[in-house]
Chains A and B, each alone.
Chain A
Amino acid sequence: ETGVTQSPTHLIKTRGQQVTLRCSSQSGHNTVSWYQQALGQGPQFIFQYYREEENGRGNFPPRFSGLQFPNYSSELNVNALELDDSALYLCASSLTGTASAFGSGTRLTVV
């Protein structure tokens, strides 16, 4: 059974650029959630996808968007990057709604 895998592990972008982060769900899981974890803070819910549709969203602006593909893998896209977007981005998958398996995250630094 493969766990949740995320790529890349680290990324440096310039303010104003766009970024795409990728996530492969754990085998058998059909739901993907994305979280943002700023340094020294707990993760914050961005959104969740189920069967390729967004079915829940946290308090994040529209420049944060996502996709889920038929194989249940997912992408997180962030446009017009700001310095405050620097964080660890965590992907989690589950068979039911609540995240049960987390990836190791993508560390995004915006300069």
Chain B
Amino acid sequence: AQSVTQLDSQVPVFEEAPVELRCNYSSSVSVYLFWYVQYPNQGLQLLLKYLSGSTLVKGINGFEAEFNKSQTSFHLRKPSVHISDTAEYFCAVTLSGYALNFGKGTSLLVTP
């Protein structure tokens, strides 16, 4: 079965600094990969997804992620963060195309 490991539970960063949230997956076959964001007391919002094709995926709010098959990684990046990016970020993988397996999440805290 496929699974996801988010390597950092918390990532503190200063406003306007770059950030990378790490995600590794395990699967012996091709998978689809996703990043979601969850603001306090809200549901999940899809940031971006990798289904096939170009390994560099651009999403909303200035985020992007790179699929690396050899390293089984799908790290999320943003060149300059804002206070409003403070939230919980979840990496997810699916083999079936419908049942998402989520990581435990990374809490991004942006401070002035």
- B90 near A56 with CB under 8 A, answer no
How many chain A residues sit at the interface, stated as a range, is: 20 to 34
- A105 near B98 with CB under 8 A, answer no
CB-nearest residue of chain A relative to B88? A42
Taking CB atoms, residues of chain B closer than 8 Å to A35 are 100
- B99 near A42 with CB under 8 A, answer no
CB distance from B39 to the nearest CB of A (A): 10
Answer whether A58 and B43 are a contact pair too, CB < 8 Å, given A42-B90, A98-B32: no
Q: Please, how many angstroms separate the alpha-carbon atoms of A43 and B34 in the complex?
A: 13
The interface bits of chain A over 93-111 (1 if a CB of B lies within 8 angstroms of the residue's CB, else 0) are 0001111111111000000
Known contacts A45-B99, A98-B97; can you find 15 more A-B pairs with CB under 8 A? A33-B98, A33-B99, A33-B100, A40-B105, A42-B90, A43-B90, A43-B102, A44-B102, A45-B100, A48-B98, A48-B99, A55-B98, A90-B44, A97-B96, A104-B41
The 10 residue pairs across chains A and B that have the minimum distance between CB atoms: A42-B102, A97-B98, A102-B43, A102-B44, A97-B97, A45-B99, A104-B43, A103-B43, A43-B102, A42-B104
Interface residues of A (CB under 8 A from B): 4, 31, 33, 35, 40-45, 48, 55-56, 58, 90, 92, 96-105
